[in-house]
Amino acid sequence: MSLPPEYQAQVNELRVVIQREGTEGACLGAAKAFPIQVAPDSHLVVRKDDSLPVQFGDLPRYLSGGFEVLLAEELLDSEDGLLLLARLSADLSLPVDFRRVRFLEESQPLRPRGPFLALGRFEAGGLQVPVRFDKGSIRVVDDHGSTLLDAKTLPRLTVAQLARTQQGARGLWVRTASGERLPPPDDFKLSEDDVAFADRSGVLLTLDSGAPSQARVHYPGVTSWLGHLGANRFWILALGWLGLTLLVLYLYRKIRQHDPDRKRGDGTGFTSDPGAPGNGHG
């Protein structure tokens, strides 16, 4: 099957759409099914896809126009960093242009100039990422709150995620969840989702950050305001009842002070003025 040269690469994603001729009228019945056969005169209509990547499988297409590589200088002390770069280049079909490689200290924030691939324990800086490493320990939980993966129990865990710059460029950021060096997995093939957790054996778990109802990233050391309310609900209720009681007493005193019957007398012939007639003094 002949493809235009500009669409030829190591990996081609082809989707064949079978489209029936349009029907007319207001027919409410089910359309009759027919078998499909690829005939000798069948052909593919190829069009360019300029959409932004939303999952790992979109990266080869998005980065095919070129990208910069940001490597941590600490990776030069070991061959693991270059092995991981080679593994990503092979498994994700990302041809690396070594003329666009920049080495940065891990204490520096990531500031890519365009589409990028970053390897190292950098500071996120202005990047928008699904997994934040500045919030402490990381867990992946399901919709019931059960733990699917705990980064604390996997010290050599590698996290790969799609990232976005403030200018709107996308890229792939790979780093460890702890202080360990980046171990090159034996298999790093990624296609679906936008967050992946891997170790030496390969990919352990992937998730879609846009669908938190299935699986989401949880930070045990960070408690939201709802969590604080739940933990201190007894004291909050007690203070609420105390405040309500004081408010009722305050309103009662105000009403008593402005009661005209109380000032004129209460109907027994007595008034609040001790010198007035009928107050019981003669």
Q: pLDDT tens digit string along 57-98? A: 889 889 988 999 999 888 887 777 788 888 888 888 888 888
Question: Does 130 have pLDDT greater than 50?
Answer: yes
Amino acid identity of 20?
Answer: R
Distance CA 152, CA 138 (A): 7
Report yes or no on 282 lying in a domain: no
Question: Does 275 have pLDDT greater than 60?
Answer: no
Q: List, in sequence order, every residue forming a beta bridge with 199; answer none if it has no partner.
A: 202
Question: Average pLDDT for residues 253-266, to the nearest whole number?
Answer: 66
Report yes or no on 100 lying in a domain: yes
Report yes or no on 137 lying in a domain: yes
> Do the beta carbons of residue 107 and residue 152 sit within 8 Å?
no
Nearest of 110, 98, 165, 154 to residue 134 by alpha carbon: 110
pLDDT at residue 23, rounded to an integer = 59
Q: Which domain holds residue 138?
A: 56-220
- Long-range contacts of range 236-240, CB-CB < 8 Å, 24 or more positions apart? none
Q: pLDDT tens digit string along 17-54? A: 666 665 566 666 666 666 777 777 777 676 777 889 99
Distance CA 95, CA 11 (A): 12
Report yes or no on 17 lying in a domain: no
pTM over 0.75: no
Q: How many helices (H) and strands (E) does the chain have?
A: 5, 10
Q: pLDDT tens digit string along 223-248? A: 555 555 665 677 788 888 888 888 88
Radius of gyration of the chain (CA): 34
Nearest of 21, 22, 23, 4 to residue 12 by alpha carbon: 4
Report yes or no on 162 lying in a domain: yes
Report yes or no on 12 lying in a domain: no
pLDDT at residue 70, rounded to an integer = 93
Question: Does 5 have pLDDT greater than 80?
Answer: no
Report yes or no on 256 lying in a domain: no
* φ, ψ of residue 98 in degrees (nearest 5): -70, -10
Report yes or no on 106 lying in a domain: yes
Number of domains within the chain = 1
